[in-house]
A = this chain, B = another copy of it.
């Protein structure tokens, strides 16, 4: 599997709901921020922990942890956080390309505020990650990967959007599947037409949560949104948090339950790891319901601790692991 996304290091801190309102943060969303705002927010936050993140990167790490083969395309600088990001990919056996031609822009970071309800609110300073462009794509890797997986967050920058479409073209020209996660309902809102066109033109497997799908088709009815996506995309997987997921194809509508978690500590990475599990099952040729169940297992692990990547080898959690 080949992932493309914004290469980010997460800066994770706990804070109260009052902190969110005092700093105009929209709970559960991802907001793009510039340097000044990043400095201001970070200064206001308490003690933080740094861990590699980035949506599609988390997904590729999840695939590797499940026993699959994955590589990742994204951009970091040669600074401390870039070193951390690169290390953490190599450490789990995910080859990583696309780094470091722009030495002046720092590695991107995502300031994540985790509230007592375990919900995460993300503020992303994209840094050099957003300069990902067509030249950064490793076309051989894309041509050789069974599935190309891309994050919707890339749509916030035109260069990355172009790279996205180009990568999808390379994948399809080589008979590969193209998968997209919508990433964030506000991101979908900002780029709705582009997302719709991409889903219509290029996407074989679409991931999104209920809010994101509602935003994509501008409706308040999940049934309507699912009906719309079934007409436009071969396979759509809609996650609904603790309510599990719906897998929609032209012919089928399958509900899969979430895996119960004793104590949810941090929802960061839930969608990323769900996608990892689902796609891992898909590349193994498992039935769709089983793909959803593997996704649920991977997501349950990552929300049971702080941080967006698994702390255990996910393959050991599988029924046949």
- Give A contacts to B, CB under 8 Å: 13, 42-43, 45-52, 61, 79-81, 84, 87-88, 90-92, 106-107, 307, 309
Q: Are A48 and B87 in contact (CB under 8 A)?
A: yes
Instruction: Determine the distance from Cα of A88 to Cα of B11 in the docked complex, in whole angstroms.
Output: 11
Q: Closest CB-CB distance, A18 to chain B, in whole Å?
A: 16
Cβ contact within 8 Å between B84 and A48? yes
Taken together, the copies of this chain in the complex come to: 2
Complex CA distance for A106 and B79, rounded to whole angstroms: 11
- Chain B residues with Cβ below 8 Å from A42 are 87
Q: Are A51 and B52 in contact (CB under 8 A)?
A: no
Q: List 30 A-B contacts (CB under 8 A).
A: A13-B91, A42-B87, A43-B87, A43-B90, A45-B87, A45-B91, A46-B91, A46-B92, A47-B52, A47-B61, A47-B88, A47-B92, A47-B309, A48-B84, A48-B87, A48-B88, A48-B91, A49-B49, A49-B50, A49-B51, A49-B307, A50-B50, A50-B51, A50-B84, A79-B79, A79-B80, A80-B80, A80-B81, A80-B106, A80-B107
Select from chain B the residue with minimum beta-carbon distance to A89: B47
CB distance from A107 to the nearest CB of B (A): 8
Closest to A88 in B: B47
Docked complex Cα distance between A90 and B42 (Å): 11
Measured CB to CB, the closest approach of chain B to A210, in angstroms, equals: 31
Q: Could you say which residues of chain B place their CB within 8 Å of the CB of A49? A: 49-51, 307
| Minimum CB distance partner of A80 in chain B | B80
Please give 9 more A-B residue pairs, beta carbons under 8 A apart, in addition to A47-B309, A50-B51: A42-B87, A43-B90, A45-B87, A45-B91, A46-B92, A48-B84, A48-B88, A50-B50, A50-B84
Report the Cα distance A63→B86, complex, angstroms.
35
Bound Cα distance A155, B84 (Å):
29
